[in-house]
Structure formats: C-alpha cells, structure tokens
Chain A
C-alpha cells in the first residue's frame, strides 16, 4: 500500500514531531500521539498479525482494549520483551521495536497458515478429540508441534531487570474510567469534600470524547471541556487522577486493583525508575464508568485486514488523523456507523455504500447521511469479502425475508467498517459479583443488583447518549459522595438509536463459509453451532469446548454475538442462556507488577540466627528450614557433604560438637495456671515436674495425631520454657492461644514468643562438660547437680544463661540459652575453649544422623499428620492418669490402637553400604508386580560413620511385631532386602547420656 493515509489536519497528534519505529524489521515514521496501530494504519499497513489457530492474516479490528487481532511483542532488550500487547494501546515512541505474533517465518508468508487450508478438519473441540491417544505421542509429537505453531508471543529470555512498586490507597469515591461519564462523576463527587480517585487506562483523560472533536459541551469544545474539568479536579488536593492506569480487578469489599504503567510509553525510561505500579485501592464507594465495546458483525470472511469496527475507524480519523482507507463500505445494524460514514465523507473518503441490515433505519444520523447524499442500502446484508493482505471488495445481498437473500453484489473497497451496536462493559461490575439482567431493547446485559458499594454509570449501563451519560455520571458521583447532583450540562451531540443487532448475519454462502465470532481464538459461528449439535447446552460448557471468549481479550467483542448464535441454535432467548463469568484481569497485566517488590531476596523474609555470621565465616553450607537459614555442614579442605558429615558425626561421638540450635521455637508459658494449662494441652503430665527439671513434651491435635514436640523446662512453679520444632512455633503458639482464649479463658496464663530472644548453643559430646567448666559462674555442672533433663540458671561468659542438660545426639549434652545479643560472643568463647578438646562445629545434616542413630523422631519426617504418639514409640510420654488432654478422646478410638497401624521401626540393609532412599516403599515379599500391597515407607535414611553401616527409620504396618523379619524395599535396581530392628541403633541403654 503506497502513500500516506494521514489527514492534513485534526486529531490529538503533533504532526510536526516525527517518531521513527520498527515493525517486523521495517522502519516506519509516525507522529507523536500515535499508537502503534494508528501509525501503521497511517502507513497503509493493516496486516498486523496472524490468527491463533488458523494463522489467517489479520488486521487491526478496534482502537482500544478490546483489540483481538493486532497483538504484538514490544522489544527493548532480552529482559524487556513484552508479548501480547494490543497495538491499539501501545503508545509510539522513538525507536520502538515491535514484532507481530503467531507467524513463522514471516507475517506475509506463514507456514502455520496450512492450518487455514486444513480448517475443515479442525472443528470445535478438535484438540480434545484428536490429541488423546496414544499417551506417548503427547510428549514426542503433539505438544512440541502445537506449542511451536501456536502460543501467544515469546517470554523474555533474560530476568526482568525492572522494578515495580506496590501502593495501598484509600478514598471515599473511586471512579473507574475518565470518559465523559467518569469525568462528570469525579467532578461531582469531588464537591463532596472527600478523597476522590479517578483512574483511566488511556494516556490522557477524555475517553470517547477524544474522538469527538465537533460536539460542544456546556458551550465548550470537547477539548476545552476536558481541560476545564481536569483543571478543576487537579486543583483539588483531595483528588487523584491516574492515567495509563487500568482497573483490572474488583475484589471483595471494594478493593480495586489498578495497574499504572509509568514508563512503557517512554523512549528512554530513567534507569532504575520503576516501570509499573500496582495500586490496591480500598474505596468507600465505587463509580464504574467503563464505557462500552463496539460489536463486530458475524458474516463470512469478516476477518480480512481492512475490516474493522466503524467506531474504531472514527477514532483513527478524529483522534489520530488517519484514514482507514480511501473507498470504504460501511456494514451496519446500528446508527453509530453513520457517524463514521459522515465523518469519513467529510474527510474526503469515498463511502461506496452504507449497507444496513435493518429494513427501515430512521433517526437523525440516518437522515444526516441521506442529506449528504451517501448511498444507503437498507435491508442489506454483508455476506462476504475478498482480498489477501487487505480487503479488496465486499459482497452484499438484499435480505428478502424468510431466510432468502437476493443475488450478491460485489463492491470494490479498501476497507469495510462494521458495527452491530455497543456492548456495555460490565467486566468490573461482574467481577464485583453484581447480578446482571438482560435488556431486550438494547440487546445487552446490564448491571442490576450490586454486591458491593458500587454503581455503574453511562455507557457501561446502557446510557449511550452523551448528554444522558454526563448526567448519569453526575448523578452517580453525587450519590457516591452524598451531595446533590448539579444542573445537567447541555451538549450539541446528536444521539444514535441505542438498539443494534447480535448473532450472525444471514448469508447464502453454504456450510464452508467461516464467519468469525471470536477473532482472538479463531472461533466461528459454525464452531458454536457444532458444539450445540454435539449436545452442549450450558454457555459455560460451550465456552470451554469452543474456547470462545477465553482469550486474553476476555471476549470483549465476542461474548454477546456468541450468545446470539447460541440463542438461535438452541431456540432459546438469550437471557435463558446466560453470560459466562468475567474474571480479572480486564486486560493482561505483567507478572512483574503482581510480584512487586516480592522478588529475589525480598520474596520471603530471611531469618538468620545471631551465630549466622560466624557460620558464614567458617564456610558453612546453608539450607532453608522454613524461613531460616541453617548451617547444614561445615566442609573443610574441599570435603563434600558426605565426607564433612562423617567427620562431624565422629567428632561429636568421640570428643564434642557445637551446633547452632537458635532456630528452635521457644514459647514462655507463665502464670498461676501455667502447669494446669500444660497438663491440658500437652499429652504429658506436668504438675509433678520439679522446678529445674525438663521433660520431652509431645503435642497432639484434637484428632490425636502428633503435631509438634520439644523439650520443656520448668523455670519456676508458674513458668515453663517451652521449645517447639523450628517450623512449628507459630502454629503451636496459635493453638495455645486458641485453647486459652476460646476454651479455657478461666486459666490465668499467658504466652510469649521468645524464639528470637534466645541464642541456643548446643554442646554435645563426651568433652562437653570439660569445655563448659571454665566458662560458667555459679553453676554446678556435675552429674549429681545437673543430671540429664535438668536445667539451671546462672552466668556464662558474664551473661545470664538458662543452661539445659539435654541431648538430641545421645551424648552428654548441654543447650546454652543466652540473650540473642550475646549469642555470637558466647559461641566464640565456647569455640575457643573447646579447641584443645577437639571441638567441632556441625550442621543440621549431622544433627539428623546423630538423632537417627538414637531413634529420635523428627515431627514431619517420621510423622505425617496421621501418626499417633504410640505409632512413633512415644506412648511412654502420655500422662495416663490425666482425665483429659488435647487428643485424649481421639486416641481412645479403637482404630487408633489397631495392631496394623504403621509403627516406627529401624531397618538394616543386608549390605552395610546400601543407603535406602527416604520415602521408598516397603513391601512384604520379593518379586511383587505393581500395583503391589505397600506396608510401609522409609522415613529417615543415612550412612552412620560411627556404626560403619547404613541405618534407616521406617513406618511399617504392625512393625513392632515384625522384629527380625526380612522385608523388601523396591528400588530401580531391584528389591532391596531389609531386616526389621528396633529404632535405636546406638547406645540403646543410654549409658552415654548419664555421665
């Protein structure tokens, strides 16, 4: 296409400011104020993409958020490639680089277009019907081919280098949409004195008025009225206007999510400046002024480049100064298209014909067109088109009634502009869970019953006339702000008849013709009818089967026409068919803006212990345990984990190890009724626990299953130092509060989370007492004064300590609790004092091996939420004389003591070097074929250096009665025989503890 389609005057562009850009590798010139779509049209380029399924050449259809065809990728660099952008919403900037989608190798020649020729074989549900069997073909054939040929654009290859912000805001009134209705609503609402926010997706306020240069409002041009209104709003410090800000989600209790694009439109964004901002706005009242979307006509070959919506063509002309063509055919069932015909004709475009489906259109716009001498054919259907990369002719047929059409007439043209009328944009209202009603006169679903404090105004509730919409907005804004509505404004606008047409245009083209309903997902009226013939009745099912309305455009142009086709085929009225649910986002949003600051190190909080820095200095390898960073092992001289863990284990057993246990959850339980609470809460008996003594506590849920465990020390008659698992502290505290607040409020007790108050240094090994001896003051470390499971308070290195004589390794052990701020200093003092004794730092991996050698369970590893205390060998911990505790009644159920319950056992492989896989299944006999009866699973499995062989813990059905039996663990290399033994592998008498 040669020559410029830019008009000489008019529009909201700056013709003198040329903007250069590239589309599919070709350099073009546009002007400031253009979108990518308007700039391409100005260059005579209509072909902007290929369709999703058939790869048919497609031109731009609309001029805004509803665009289903002209989807592009905008590329700044490898980390800043944004796919699926609507060219109609991409603001042009110097150097913009864009690429069309769904085409390979090029837009003009596309291999995937073979799908188009195969279209008769790709009906609705084709993928469901065809790519089902054999299963293997999915991985090897179907999926790779489908993915290469389909798909919407490409994800960026590099990590997103940009930053995104998140902001909460509150206001009395939020107005969504800054068209005439929204501006009017905001202006009125602001007079109420409250905080008003006005958000709009476009680059400037005005909405449809930006395409209406000739109308006068309150005596002003639209340009001046917008300027005056915005100036008044901006002068009010309580008003916030956001442009390039899309309200994309309506959440419960008037929480609206808005995506504000800060730098997408800039040629050279300031380095480091944020790219987008997510607003989460909590509004007292919401006014939805979202406008309406023009409906295409569903006729055969309605998807050629050069066929676009009549209203969009008018926007290109009036806002961007671009002609959609030089000789156009207008095909319509609605008055608005006459406005386009009139404006284009005045701009020098030849209007070849206005083909109106309606037999007797009337009204001022029709009369005006007649007066201008534009050729009008009434009762006339468009039944086809010709052309490749650009439409070259339209096929028109007279509607004779009774399904009959007259002989076709071919009209040469370079653009077809169509309109079926306008569909109110009820997306946000529907997202707010408001109920819609069908309005037969408007052929539209309109907002009916609100679910939130919200009201729709203007075109989005079927009020299409400009003067009425301005008044409707003012009324809504006044009601939202609790003020009286102002005097209505007068305009010079000529109104259109609101009614239009829905569904498919009649045609005589036979069953092969394809009339598109959903451009983005390539769904035709034939596909919808096929779905009905195959038995689909529900609109939700038809939607999923045909994918109509399921593309990123959310069916903005297709939903109502699809309903019209379905209503015809099902012989049911539209309101009986119902509308599918609208979901957020209204238009696609980036993952970046949803993630906001929660990326990388800020994705989750990182918790580190007071001793963390020391472990880093020592070259520890860390692992994540809940939010904590824990030292997993301390490699020396190029050791791998296995070597380091063997060395650490042996050091603990033979000399002493030091371990950072600060992450243990800690809760201080204090009060006159502390012991009574503990008695009711934990399964153990607590009233007789002496002051200065500890007990291993087990906590069950009310259903009797183990939830947490940990050592509990009694500091005083009314004070317990409770420890929990590292990950379990919050849920244990929550459960304590739950029982105290809601079941036993009469108890005088309170709980304080002290996890981060204490640094905990575990000193484990035969030399532990020797190392500690020189560091403590006022503490007798002897076996008599401080036996296993005792605690004392005193001083270490000059700071107060709670010193526990406890062991999770089976060795003589202490856990030194000191205030967190002193943790590292005390640790380093202990470390120094221990060097002559061979003190070795160890991590969580060694801790796990040591405890497994002793058969100590880890909650969440041996237990899985279905293990009772008895299942894991903890029946001894139960305070049997207690009348009640959490879980007691459930544990009394017969099934909780069934002999075939999975029970904790040890497993030894025949070969001492074979280490079982954790999670591996256990079966009773050799050579079973899948599916085989499984009787248990391996819960912990390690190589034990001190024992010189592998060990494993397992939960096995009736395991305690199977001691000495041989069972099997099926592995890839064959069944591994294992012998069932007790779960304590090392020092079963506990001799090493009591020294």
Chain B
C-alpha cells in the first residue's frame, strides 16, 4: 500500500486516496471552438510514461482536496506532491 503525502495533511495511507488520472491537462476555455483533433487530444490522449508521471490524486477520505503528484511508474516511488494550480516541479532542481 502506497504512502502518499497530501500537501495539506501530510503522509497518509493509500486507502484514503482516489487516483485522478494524468495531471496538467487543463480543460480548454472554450471547448466548442476546438476542432475534432484537438478535442480528441484533450479528451482521450494520455502520456502513460514509463518513469516519472505527473498525476492527480484526491485525498478523498481526508481533506477531500485534489492535488498533483510526480510518481515513478516503474518503482511506485513518489518524487513530489504539490497543490493543484502549482507548476510541475522541475526535477533537475529537486534532485540537484
């Protein structure tokens, strides 16, 4: 069971959380102005990387907040968690 650090509450066990898919995919301001390709890209296309992945979690059975996390999909280790709206942390800065 993962140990996830909620940016608001601190480390909590995975059972308190719900996964929310890939992070940093903003809903377009005016969806109706988007062509089919762009809308499809937004709606369905996901990175699914092997390695560090920016993803959303919700501390469902805690503060109920959504937040973002960088997790290595090969090791399940969290590199960072951060609040919604904050930019994706620069890993070169984190590891330096």
Chain B nearest CB: distance from A972 CB in Å? Answer: 40
List residues of chain B with CB within 8 A of the CB of A255.
1, 3
Interface mask (B17-47 → A, CB under 8 Å = 1, otherwise 0)? 0101000001100111010100100010000
Across the interface, A252 reaches (CB within 8 A) one of B2, B18, B60, B65, namely: B2
Tell me the total A-B contact number using a CB cutoff of 8 A.
59
Contact across chains for A738 and B39 when beta carbons are under 8 A apart: no
Contact across chains for A892 and B3 when beta carbons are under 8 A apart: no
Count how many chain B residues have C-beta atoms less than 8 Å from C-beta atoms of the other chain: 26
Contact across chains for A742 and B30 when beta carbons are under 8 A apart: no
Across the interface, A889 reaches (CB within 8 A) one of B18, B32, B60, B85, namely: B32
Q: In this assembly, does A495 line the interface, its C-beta being within 8 Å of a C-beta of chain B? A: no
Contact across chains for B39 and A737 when beta carbons are under 8 A apart: no
Contact across chains for B3 and A734 when beta carbons are under 8 A apart: no
Chain A nearest CB: distance from B26 CB in Å? Answer: 7
Contact across chains for A252 and B39 when beta carbons are under 8 A apart: no
CB-CB under 8 A for A738 and B27, given A251-B1, A433-B75, A892-B32: no
Interface core residue of A255, A703, A739, A742 (most chain B CB under 10 Å):
A742
- Measured between alpha carbons, how far is A873 from B26 in the docked complex, in Å? 31
- Measured between alpha carbons, how far is A703 from B34 in the docked complex, in Å? 14
- Measured between alpha carbons, how far is A145 from B16 in the docked complex, in Å? 47
Across the interface, B32 reaches (CB within 8 A) one of A702, A703, A741, A888, namely: A888
Chain B nearest CB: distance from A450 CB in Å? Answer: 10
List residues of chain A with CB within 8 A of the CB of B20.
738
Across the interface, A742 reaches (CB within 8 A) one of B18, B34, B64, B84, namely: B84
- Measured between alpha carbons, how far is A890 from B1 in the docked complex, in Å? 37
Across the interface, B58 reaches (CB within 8 A) one of A451, A734, A890, A893, namely: A734
Q: In this assembly, does A253 line the interface, its C-beta being within 8 Å of a C-beta of chain B? A: yes
Chain A nearest CB: distance from B50 CB in Å? Answer: 14
Contact across chains for B64 and A737 when beta carbons are under 8 A apart: yes
Across the interface, A890 reaches (CB within 8 A) one of B2, B43, B77, B84, namely: B43
List residues of chain A with CB within 8 A of the CB of B64.
737
- Measured between alpha carbons, how far is A890 from B44 in the docked complex, in Å? 11
Interface core residue of B27, B39, B84 (most chain A CB under 10 Å):
B27
Across the interface, B30 reaches (CB within 8 A) one of A280, A451, A737, A883, namely: A883
- Measured between alpha carbons, how far is A890 from B38 in the docked complex, in Å? 12
Nearest-neighbor residue (CB-CB) of B68 within chain A: A742
Contact across chains for A737 and B66 when beta carbons are under 8 A apart: yes
Contact across chains for B43 and A702 when beta carbons are under 8 A apart: yes
Interface mask (A870-897 → B, CB under 8 Å = 1, otherwise 0)? 0000000000000110001110110000
List residues of chain B with CB within 8 A of the CB of A883.
30, 32
Chain A nearest CB: distance from B7 CB in Å? Answer: 13
Contact across chains for A741 and B31 when beta carbons are under 8 A apart: no
Nearest-neighbor residue (CB-CB) of A751 within chain B: B64
- Measured between alpha carbons, how far is A377 from B36 in the docked complex, in Å? 81
List residues of chain A with CB within 8 A of the CB of B77.
253, 451
- Measured between alpha carbons, how far is A253 from B1 in the docked complex, in Å? 7
Contact across chains for A889 and B34 when beta carbons are under 8 A apart: yes
Contact across chains for A888 and B31 when beta carbons are under 8 A apart: yes
Contact across chains for A889 and B66 when beta carbons are under 8 A apart: no
Nearest-neighbor residue (CB-CB) of B21 within chain A: A738
Q: In this assembly, does A282 line the interface, its C-beta being within 8 Å of a C-beta of chain B? A: yes
Nearest-neighbor residue (CB-CB) of A433 within chain B: B75
Nearest-neighbor residue (CB-CB) of B40 within chain A: A893
Contact across chains for A703 and B43 when beta carbons are under 8 A apart: yes
Interface size of A as a range = 20 to 34
CB-CB under 8 A for A890 and B65, given A451-B75, A741-B84, A742-B84: no
- Measured between alpha carbons, how far is A745 from B3 in the docked complex, in Å? 27
Contact across chains for A737 and B58 when beta carbons are under 8 A apart: yes
List residues of chain A with CB within 8 A of the CB of B39.
889-890, 893
Contact across chains for B36 and A893 when beta carbons are under 8 A apart: yes
List residues of chain A with CB within 8 A of the CB of B65.
741
Chain B nearest CB: distance from A786 CB in Å? Answer: 36
Q: In this assembly, does A534 line the interface, its C-beta being within 8 Å of a C-beta of chain B? A: no
Q: In this assembly, does A989 line the interface, its C-beta being within 8 Å of a C-beta of chain B? A: no
List residues of chain B with CB within 8 A of the CB of A889.
31-32, 34, 39
- Measured between alpha carbons, how far is A893 from B43 in the docked complex, in Å? 13
- Measured between alpha carbons, how far is A451 from B72 in the docked complex, in Å? 11
- Measured between alpha carbons, how far is A255 from B12 in the docked complex, in Å? 13
- Measured between alpha carbons, how far is A889 from B34 in the docked complex, in Å? 8
Contact across chains for A734 and B18 when beta carbons are under 8 A apart: yes
Q: In this assembly, does A743 line the interface, its C-beta being within 8 Å of a C-beta of chain B? A: yes
Across the interface, A884 reaches (CB within 8 A) one of B3, B32, B84, namely: B32
Across the interface, A745 reaches (CB within 8 A) one of B30, B56, B85, namely: B85
- Measured between alpha carbons, how far is A75 from B89 in the docked complex, in Å? 59
Interface mask (B74-96 → A, CB under 8 Å = 1, otherwise 0)? 01110000001100000000000
Interface mask (A622-635 → B, CB under 8 Å = 1, otherwise 0)? 00000000000000
Contact across chains for B1 and A252 when beta carbons are under 8 A apart: yes
Nearest-neighbor residue (CB-CB) of A280 within chain B: B1
Interface core residue of B1, B3, B30, B56 (most chain A CB under 10 Å):
B1
CB-CB under 8 A for A742 and B32, given A282-B3, A734-B58: no
List residues of chain B with CB within 8 A of the CB of A282.
3, 13
List residues of chain B with CB within 8 A of the CB of A743.
26-27
- Measured between alpha carbons, how far is A703 from B1 in the docked complex, in Å? 32
Contact across chains for B32 and A734 when beta carbons are under 8 A apart: no
Interface mask (A758-795 → B, CB under 8 Å = 1, otherwise 0)? 00000000000000000000000000000000000000
CB-CB under 8 A for A742 and B1, given A883-B32, A889-B32: no
Chain B nearest CB: distance from A155 CB in Å? Answer: 29
- Measured between alpha carbons, how far is A741 from B56 in the docked complex, in Å? 12
CB-CB under 8 A for A253 and B58, given A734-B18, A884-B31, A893-B36: no
Chain B nearest CB: distance from A168 CB in Å? Answer: 8
List residues of chain A with CB within 8 A of the CB of B84.
741-742, 745
- Measured between alpha carbons, how far is A745 from B27 in the docked complex, in Å? 13
Interface mask (A237-278 → B, CB under 8 Å = 1, otherwise 0)? 000000000000001111100000000000000000000000
CB-CB under 8 A for A252 and B43, given A737-B66, A884-B30: no
Chain A nearest CB: distance from B62 CB in Å? Answer: 13
Chain B nearest CB: distance from A179 CB in Å? Answer: 28
- Measured between alpha carbons, how far is A328 from B2 in the docked complex, in Å? 52
Chain A nearest CB: distance from B71 CB in Å? Answer: 10
Nearest-neighbor residue (CB-CB) of A255 within chain B: B1
Contact across chains for A253 and B32 when beta carbons are under 8 A apart: no
Contact across chains for A742 and B31 when beta carbons are under 8 A apart: no
List residues of chain A with CB within 8 A of the CB of B56.
742
Chain B nearest CB: distance from A676 CB in Å? Answer: 15
List residues of chain A with CB within 8 A of the CB of B34.
889
- Measured between alpha carbons, how far is A888 from B30 in the docked complex, in Å? 11
Chain B residues at the A interface, C-beta cutoff of 8 Å: 1-3, 13, 18, 20, 26-27, 30-32, 34, 36, 39, 43, 56, 58, 60, 64-66, 75-77, 84-85
Given contacts A253-B1, A433-B76, 15 further A-B contacts (CB under 8 A): A251-B1, A253-B3, A255-B1, A282-B13, A734-B60, A738-B58, A742-B66, A745-B85, A883-B30, A883-B32, A884-B30, A884-B32, A889-B31, A890-B39, A890-B43
Can you name 6 A-B pairs with beta carbons within 8 Å? A252-B3, A451-B75, A737-B58, A741-B66, A889-B32, A890-B39
| 9 shortest interchain CB distances as A-B pairs | A889-B31, A253-B3, A252-B76, A741-B66, A255-B1, A743-B27, A252-B2, A742-B84, A742-B66
